[in-house]
Amino acid sequence: MGERSPSPERSSDHQKPHIKWSDSYTKAHTAIEGLAALIPSLPQSLSSSETPAAALLHDSAVAAQVSDLLRRPESGAVDDNLCAWLYETFHSSEPDLQLVVLRFIPILAGVYLSRVSLNRPLAGFESVLLAVYAHENKSRNGQSVAVSVPDLAHSSVYHETKQTAKNASTELHLAVISPALEPYGTVRSTRRARIVGVALELYYSKISEIPAGSKIEFCEFCKIWAGQKTGEDEEEEGKSERRIILQWELLQPILRILGHCLMGPAKDGELFTAALSACRSLNARAMHDLNPKAILATGSLVKLGEMDKTESAVDHTEIPISDVISI
């Protein structure tokens, strides 16, 4: 008696994951081959990896080469091949490859915002930022990002009260943390902060998957944007010349990212130090600008970072030695 052939439905279901994986694998290899023509050297391990997109994301040597190219004086122009590669890679619609592009958003946005005042065409940088913005606009479907905030005017179910319950106590009180997006096809001075801010919001939404090196680069650019020289930066000239206008729609995602770098679950000493230094620089800038909202936000992050740093230095298992007898 011959073996029974699988049903068409089961055979089809069995093939779907393979086709999806093969398509992602091919797109990742195509992206790697395109990048190989742009950077000085590409490790052979990327091409032989079973997960090439993930290997590309976490390869520090490749990241350093890409960062160097993005920092070149002529980078960001309309004919910049690296910007074209970032643009096409993000439009691949593969989440792992899009994550690779997001890994370089801090340095791309950092160099871009620092050069805006030079009045030079930066269409290459802007094309990548607009691609990220359009992707986020489509995913939000015209909706704003809001969170539910407890209404302190009404007692909670855990508190006794003599007041009669009001119907309004069941109503949601929403706070908008990111307004609805409008479709933009070009970058203008009035839109720039919003477009870059949305790119940083998407970066923040994936921050747990981003390598620490990218976050450290972000912290360094925060100090440059603040334009405040503190400690080791006093001898470095030129950082104050690249300070930018820190509008709230840009500063808000910056502070969320720094908050993760300070208080995130994955403790990294170098990242923590860089984030705390960036918060201090931004706090000094807020004090200089007399911006109450920014002073409160940055000052709170500085205090949280210093508290965490102090608690980490205390050994709570050590028995204190004192001449005072407590009764």
On the question of pLDDT at 203 being above 90, the answer is yes
The answer to the question of residue 124 being in a domain is no
Q: Give Rg (Cα) of the chain.
A: 25
Convert the pLDDT of each residue in 244-300 to its tens digit: 899 999 999 999 999 999 998 878 889 999 999 999 999 999 999 999 999 999 999
Residue type, 240: S
Q: What is the pLDDT of residue 179?
A: 83
Q: Which residues contact 230 (CB under 8 A, 6 or more apart)?
A: 223, 277, 280, 281, 284
In terms of Cα–Cα distance, which of 210, 85, 90, 192 is closest to 138?
Answer: 90
Inside any domain, residue 158: no
Instruction: Assess contact for 94 and 84: CB atoms under 8 A.
Output: no
Answer whether 251's CB lies under 8 Å from 294's CB.
yes
Helix (H, G, I), strand (E, B) or coil at 323: coil
Number of domains into which the chain is organized: 1
- Residue 216 within a domain: yes
Using CA atoms, how far apart are residues 149 and 238, in angstroms rounded to an integer? 43
Decide if 229 contacts 248 (C-beta within 8 A).
Answer: no
Locate 72 and state its tokens.
């070149």
pLDDT digits (tens, 9 = 90+) for 127-166: 999 999 999 999 988 788 888 777 677 666 666 666 655 5
- In-domain check, residue 151: no
Residue 3 CA: distances (Å) to CA of 6, 34, 157, 241, 295: 9, 47, 64, 77, 74
How many residues can be counted in the chain?
Answer: 327
The more confidently predicted of residues 243 and 59 is 59
As a whole number of angstroms, the distance between CA 157 and CA 188 comes to 49
Work out the percent of the chain whose per-residue pLDDT is above 70: 77
Answer yes or no: is pLDDT of 122 > 60: yes
**Is residue 233 in some structural domain?**
yes
DSSP state of 175: E
Query: Does any domain span residue 178?
Result: no
Q: Which amino acid is at 251?
A: L
Q: What is the pTM of this model?
A: 0.80
Give the range of the structural domain holding residue 296, as residue numbers without chain letter. Answer: 211-313
pLDDT at 181: 84
**Domain annotation covers residue 218:** yes
* Domain membership flag for residue 112: no
